[in-house]
Amino acid sequence: MDPATTLAAIAAGAAIGLVLALVGGGGSILAVPLLVYLVGVDSPHAAIGTAAVAVALNAASSLAGHARNGNVKWPCALTFAGAGVIGAALGAEAGKAMDGARLLALFGGLMVLVGLSMLRPRRTADNPDVRLERSTASVLLPRLVPTGLGVGALAGFFGIGGGFLIVPGLVMATRMPLRIAVGTSLVVVTALGLTTATSYALSGYVDWGLVGLMVIGGLIGAGIGIPLGKRLANRKRAMELGFATLVIVIGVYVIVRGLA
């Protein structure tokens, strides 16, 4: 790997880590276009497989802190993740079977939709004590299982963590507070990322050297973003809107390049 590619991979990881620290999510959706257009990965499938590994590792590292703080509803998380893993496995197989250029164009379309959804105010919830147990299973399971299956299929197909879909899905299904939904979503992101990564790795679509460089870059980006995020805490919504606009612009660019 030449020095330029090495620096580009570290820079890509740093950009993702910085976004995650500042905005609190959505950074994984930048991984594929960064790998294709900045790092220069020729195969969209290899970019998706490599991104999936990096996403799973980042989510797993963040999960520990949220679990210690009691921000994870484990029964809800494991149920959602169980259905999501099935969807992710099916989605990954469908993604690998699709033409790379067409897959990139569809990925760009997803980026535009995600950016537009981020422009909308986040919903609040009013059930902080939600529990998945025998008395609530008849209500929660019909909501958690199909939502997890659908989100997992999209995450596997596009090789993304899906946190921007998982968090609202959990809130919609259980009415848990956003803070709890973010922590709970990391269990699902880790499970879906590992499922997608395993599928692509078995097909030879993961560049492990790039994964390592992106993880190093992610630590650098997080180291910069965490203290910066504290200084800009009162401007979080403005940062979210700016990031949403950036995602839409990049999505349009990916669509045009994919179709061309």
**pLDDT one-digit tens code per residue, 96-142:** 999 888 888 898 898 888 788 778 776 655 676 788 888 889 999 99
* pLDDT tens digits, one per residue of 32-60: 889 999 999 999 899 989 988 887 887 78
Of 40 and 244, the one with more pLDDT = 40
- What is the spatial distance between Cα 190 and Cα 52, in angstroms, rounded to a whole number? 9
Q: How confident is the model at residue 170 (pLDDT cuts 50, 70, 90)?
A: confident
Instruction: Output the pLDDT for position 115.
Output: 82
Please tell me the predicted confidence (pLDDT) of residue 70: 85
How confident is the model at residue 252, as a pLDDT? 92
> How much is the average pLDDT of 179-198?
87
Q: Considering its fold, how many domains does the chain have in total? A: 1
Whole domain around residue 57: which residue ranges? Answer: 3-259
